[in-house]
Amino acid sequence: MRVLKWIVDRANGRAVGVESPQGWMPRYEDIEWQGLNNFEPEAFKELMSVDRNKWMNEILSHDELFIKLYDRLPKELIFVRELTLSSLWRSPEHWEI
């Protein structure tokens, strides 16, 4: 619900985001933390970091599934996958907010 609230707030101009290799991400201060004790900014920073090699391996592991579903797969997913790979290639090895 916290991330959903951020998405809605961002869509309505009440919150901002940071562009990452994976798309737009919230900043720590953009999430409503009330009622969630002890979730420190450092833990959030680690959670939101992007390890390029791990993500590249994850995306490349989708090949078999994409081939299996090729005739039913929306072609836009192939383009989104390529854009994500391109974004990862242009990113540092370890991206952080």
pLDDT digits (tens, 9 = 90+) for 32-69: 888 887 888 999 999 999 999 999 999 999 999 999 99
Q: What pTM value is reported for the model? A: 0.75
Q: What is the total count of domains within the chain?
A: 1
* CB atoms inside a 10 Å sphere around CB 25: 19
The confidence score (pLDDT) of residue 32 equals 87
Residues contacting residue 36 through CB under 8 Å, at least 6 positions apart: 2
* Nearest residue to 50 via CA among 84, 16, 6, 9: 84
pLDDT average, residue stretch 4-24? 93
Q: Two tokens at 38?
A: 């002890």
Q: In whole angstroms, what is the distance from residue 62 CA to residue 56 CA?
A: 10
| pLDDT value for 66 | 92
The range of the structural domain enclosing residue 46 comes to 2-95
